[in-house]
């Protein structure tokens, strides 16, 4: 995912719960979809950050070099300024960019008398 092009809010925003509920018809199902997407984004973001930081990692244990590694500091600052993953997930959810499906209730089919 390209985290640079996200247009999610970086600050706290009051949301209309009815708007979130309309997508699935149930506020709790909507929360589950958003939270699962948020977890996916967090994993992707962490892997990308670690990969970029490892590009500039030094193999020596010199304390001065650790504190003065400007590339790692700039990369970390960039990722700290990004919107939170739950805000990105909610934005994707409200913009209908997330594919989700609910498992069908099979208890009705199994009881079939």
Helix (H) or strand (E) holding 93: helix 85-94
Task: Report residue 110 CA to chain centroid gap.
Answer: 37
The CA distance from 24 to 39, in Å, is 19
Name the residue with higher pLDDT: 29 or 4: 29
Count: domains in the chain: 1
pTM over 0.85: no
Local structure of 85: helix, strand or coil: helix
Q: What Rg do the C-alpha atoms of the chain give, in angstroms?
A: 20
The pair of three-digit structure tokens given for residue 63, joined into one six-digit string: 């304390």
Assigned domain for 13 exists: no
> Looking only at Cα atoms, what is the longest distance across the chain?
75
**Domain range spanning residue 34?**
23-99
Assigned domain for 32 exists: yes
Assigned domain for 16 exists: no
Local structure of 6: helix, strand or coil: coil
Assigned domain for 77 exists: yes
Assigned domain for 105 exists: no
Assigned domain for 87 exists: yes
pLDDT of residue 112: 43
Label residue 32 by pLDDT band (50, 70, 90).
very high
């Amino acid at each position: 995912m390209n985290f640079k092009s996200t247009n999610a809010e970086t600050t706290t925003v009051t949301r209309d719960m009815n708007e979130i509920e309309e997508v699935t018809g149930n506020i709790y199902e909507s929360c589950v979809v958003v939270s699962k997407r948020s977890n996916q984004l967090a994993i992707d973001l962490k892997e990308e950050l670690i990969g970029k930081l490892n590009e500039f990692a030094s193999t020596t244990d010199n304390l001065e070099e650790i504190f003065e590694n400007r590339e790692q500091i700039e990369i970390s600052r960039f990722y700290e300024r990004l919107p939170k993953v739950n805000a990105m997930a909610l934005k994707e959810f409200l913009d209908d960019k997330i594919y989700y499906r609910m498992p069908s209730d099979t208890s009705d089919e199994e009881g079939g008398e």
